[in-house]
Chain A
Amino acid sequence: MSAILELKGVSKRFGGLTAVKNVSFTLNQGEILFIIGPNGAGKTTVFNLISGFFHPDEGAIVLNGRNISRLPPQDTARLGIGRTFQIVKPLASLTVLENVMLGAFMHTSSLRQAQEEAEKILDFLQMRQIEKSQARGLPLAMLKRLEIARALATKPKLILLDEVVSGLTTSEALALAELVRRLPEWGVSVVGGVEHVMQVVMKIADRVVVLDYGAKIAEGLPAEVVKNPAVIEAYLGAKYKELAR
Chain B
Amino acid sequence: MVVFGLCALLLPVFVNNNYLMQVFFRIVLFAALGLAWNLVGGYAGQLSLGHVAFFGVGAYGLAICAAHGVPKWIAFVLAPLFATLFAAIIGKIAFRLRGPYFTLSTIASAEVLRLAAANWPLAGGAIGLSAPVLFSLGSFWKSFYYSAVVLAIVAFMVNLWTSRSRFGYYLLAIREDEDTASAVGIDTANYKLRALLLSAFLTALGGALYASAFQYIVPDSALTIEISVQIAIITMLGGAGTLIGPIVGAVLLLGAQELFKTKFQESHLLIYGILIVVVVLFLPEGLVGGFEHRSRGKKQPAQAAAAQGGR
Binding site for B on A (CB under 8 A): 51, 53, 72-74, 77-78, 82-83, 85, 89-95, 97-98, 101-103, 105-106, 109, 111-112, 114-115, 131-132, 134, 150-151, 153-154
Contact = CB atoms under 8 A, between A and B. Distances in A.
* Interface band, chain B: 20 to 34
Contact of B180 (A90, A95, A106): A90
Contacts of B164: 111
Contacts of B181: 102
B182 A105 contact: no
B306 A51 contact: no
- Give the 5 A-B CB pairs with smallest separation, nearest first: A77-B185, A91-B176, A73-B182, A109-B166, A89-B180
A115 to B, nearest CB: 6
A101 B306 contact: yes
30 contacts: A53-B179, A74-B187, A77-B184, A85-B179, A89-B179, A89-B180, A90-B176, A90-B177, A91-B172, A91-B173, A91-B176, A91-B180, A92-B177, A93-B172, A94-B176, A95-B303, A98-B169, A98-B172, A98-B306, A102-B169, A102-B170, A105-B184, A109-B166, A111-B306, A114-B166, A115-B306, A132-B300, A151-B183, A153-B184, A154-B184
Nearest to A84: B183
Contacts of A92: 176-177
Interface string B155-190: 000000000111001101100110111111111100
Q: Is the interface of A mostly helix, strand, loop or mixed?
A: mixed
Contacts of B296: 134
Q: Which of A106, A111, A112 has the most CB of B within 10 A?
A: A111
Contacts of A73: 179, 182-183
Contacts of B186: 74, 102
Contacts of A106: 184-185
Contacts of B183: 51, 73, 77, 82-83, 85, 89, 151
Query: Which of B164, B182, B186, B187 is the most central at the interface, judged by chain A CB atoms within 10 Å of its CB?
Result: B182
Interface of B: 164-166, 169-170, 172-173, 176-177, 179-188, 296, 300-303, 306-307, 309
A150 B184 contact: yes
Choose among A82, A89, A131 the residue with the greatest number of B CB atoms under 10 Å from its CB: A89
Contacts of B307: 112, 115
Contacts of B170: 102, 105
A73 B179 CA distance: 8
Given A91-B176, A92-B177, A95-B302, 20 more contacts: A53-B179, A73-B182, A74-B185, A82-B183, A85-B180, A93-B176, A95-B301, A97-B302, A98-B172, A98-B302, A102-B184, A105-B169, A106-B185, A112-B307, A132-B300, A132-B301, A132-B303, A134-B301, A151-B183, A154-B185
B169 A101 contact: yes
B177 A89 contact: yes
